[in-house]
Amino acid sequence: MSAPKNRTDLYIDRRRYRRIVRFFAGLILHVIFFDLLLGKLWPFNIRVRASRPERFRRLSRLFRDLAVEMGGVMIKLGQFLSARVDVLPPEVTEELQGLQDEVPSISPPVLRRALQQEFTDLDASFADVEMRPLAAASLGQTMRAWLRRPDGQPGLGDAVVIKILRPNIEAIVETDLAALRTVAPWLMRYKPIRRRANVPEIMEEFARTLWEELDYEQELRSIKRFQEIFAPKEHIYIPQVYDELCTERVLVMENVENMKINDLEGIQAAGIDEKEVANALIEAYLFQLFKHGIFHADPHPGNIFIRPVGPPTNQGVGQPYQIIFIDFGMIGRLPDSLRQNLGQVLIGLVQSDARRVINAYDNMGFFLPGTDLERIVEAQSFLMERLDGRNLRELAQPDPEEIKEIGNEFRDILFQFPFQVPQNFVYLGRALGILSGIASSLHPEINPWYQIERYGLELLNLEQQLAFNRESLINLLESLRPYLKLPSQIQRVVSAAENGRLRMQSSDPVANRRLERIERRLGFLNWSIVAAAGVLSGTLIYLSRNGKTHSNGSNGHKE
């Protein structure tokens, strides 16, 4: 949702608002003083540049502490910023990547009151509810529970998970977003940021996604959508939802707790082939992206389980399994244009066509205006030759000498750094980054090019088929064009014949004389037919009148 349904009831916590604004104001003043003022003065500039990584790391740590203390939007903001590698230096993104959404849990009395507000009779719906959290996050909390048995007998029924929003979280989000909207325009005054990102627009995209994550009715619809998407995939499972127990602030779902996707020891002990799991995980995301244009945008290990299915195999290797996705609050959707261009990237990779890849990136907005695309194409071609077929370990740990060679070869591009990440690509980039880390932890030798090539070939075949069908249709229309004119031409001939204006021409004099004789005979025949029609008409009229006279005479005789 773009805003809470009861937004008019929300208020701004002024103390919280001022604290957030003061923190960011201090951070911005620090950068202005050290990096924009002292950084331009000799001899301070040398020391300022040398201290920059450590200073930025320390500032990021201060923000991280603030986020953990305040919770709410601040933790989500830290996760969001950790994905903006195009805007922020690596020492900032690396520090924020460790920021988890774990916060102090809701106290049991407060939690019970919140549940009782949602359920008229909590004990009538649930046989037992654990007030100890299964997971405590910045926006909500989950806990185990058991339903009542349907037959009314004592004991525990189905095991479920209750997900509930934190009390007053909407007002906290409204306050935090108001503070961030105050800060966002300030950042636009810094040229390196202004060149590569429209911070207010990114802020609104972040706010939209955040409100959607607070909308449990939207999440319920997303769960059902993903159940439909993965219905044909037996090795992918989406938990069932108890619709009758769900509200605007509560979701009640099947408890599907199992091994986390990064539990390599547990997966191996269960006899599951970890390489197969890594391949299946990558394929599941390609399937979401290119078949349906929608994807699970928060695939961290806590949101993906794996469970054995069926009896153990004899050798303990190759045990059947299911990958289970949970938490559908953060869902990414690909606009048609982005989806089509991502398809062009895959096709370009399959065909080793660097120009097609770069053109697709340009259409998606990855390059600043005025970028020399020809030089970028050269760099892309160079990288494709070097990286083709490498596994995730090789991609994640490149050879330093090779990096140095690439840097020397394309020093001009690295100096200008004409890149930016489009705002509608931020969540996808973050999800793919997390996914890549999970897959490489499962099996470092995994080669993602196999799935990429398969989907790229499918798209290429579809593109070629569409092109063939288009060309065939054009050729067919060209072939039919003379025949499409025949009905109107025939109509003109018939009309001319009916009106006596039909003339037949020939370049042969003998043929013309024959045509004239045929035309005269046809004319004689026409007149003969007309004359015969006239005689026949006259005869019929005569007989008709004669019949009437005879009839009248008979009547008069009788009278």
Pair 219, 325 in one domain: no
Pair 84, 201 in one domain: yes
pLDDT in tens, 342-383: 888 888 888 889 999 999 999 988 888 888 899 999 999 988
Cα 82 from Cα 65, distance rounded (Å): 15
> Residue 128: helix, strand or coil by DSSP?
strand
Pair 141, 65 in one domain: no
Listed in sequence order, the DSSP H helices in 410-508 are: 411-416, 426-442, 449-484, 486-498
User: What is the number of structural domains in the chain?
Assistant: 4
Pair 401, 526 in one domain: no
The reported pLDDT for the residue numbered 550 is 47
The CATH number that applies at residue 118 is: 3.30.200
The reported pLDDT for the residue numbered 385 is 85
Q: Is residue 448 part of a domain?
A: yes
Q: Is residue 51 part of a domain?
A: yes
Other Cβ atoms within 10 Å of 80 Cβ, number: 20
The reported pLDDT for the residue numbered 450 is 72
Q: Is residue 384 part of a domain?
A: yes
Query: What six digits make up the tokens of 429?
Result: 């980039």
Q: How many CA atoms lie within 13 A of 206 on its CB side?
A: 25
pLDDT in tens, 204-233: 888 988 999 999 999 999 999 999 999 999
Pair 155, 245 in one domain: yes
Pair 384, 478 in one domain: yes
Cα 386 from Cα 402, distance rounded (Å): 9
Cα 83 from Cα 66, distance rounded (Å): 19
Contact 275, 446 (CB under 8 A): yes
The reported pLDDT for the residue numbered 203 is 87
The reported pLDDT for the residue numbered 163 is 96
Q: Is residue 454 part of a domain?
A: yes
Domain endpoint, select from 482, 501, 522: 482
Pair 61, 205 in one domain: yes
- Residues (pLDDT < 70) of the chain are 1-10, 83-87, 98-102, 312-317, 392-397, 423-424, 463-559
This prediction's pTM: 0.75
Cα 106 from Cα 67, distance rounded (Å): 17
The reported pLDDT for the residue numbered 224 is 96
Q: Is residue 45 part of a domain?
A: yes
Pair 536, 436 in one domain: no
The reported pLDDT for the residue numbered 548 is 47
- Per the listing, tokens 């529970």 go with 145
Q: Is residue 208 part of a domain?
A: yes
Q: Is residue 131 part of a domain?
A: yes
The reported pLDDT for the residue numbered 530 is 46
Pair 262, 319 in one domain: yes
Pair 18, 147 in one domain: no
Q: Is residue 267 part of a domain?
A: yes
> DSSP letter at 107?
P
The residue type of 214 is L
CA 368 to chain centre: 23
Find out whether the peptide bond into 43 is cis, omega within 30 degrees of 0.
Answer: yes
Pair 468, 539 in one domain: no
Q: Domain range spanning residue 509? A: 485-546
454, with CB counted inside 10 A (0-12, 13-18, 19+), is middle
Pair 322, 431 in one domain: yes
The reported pLDDT for the residue numbered 404 is 77
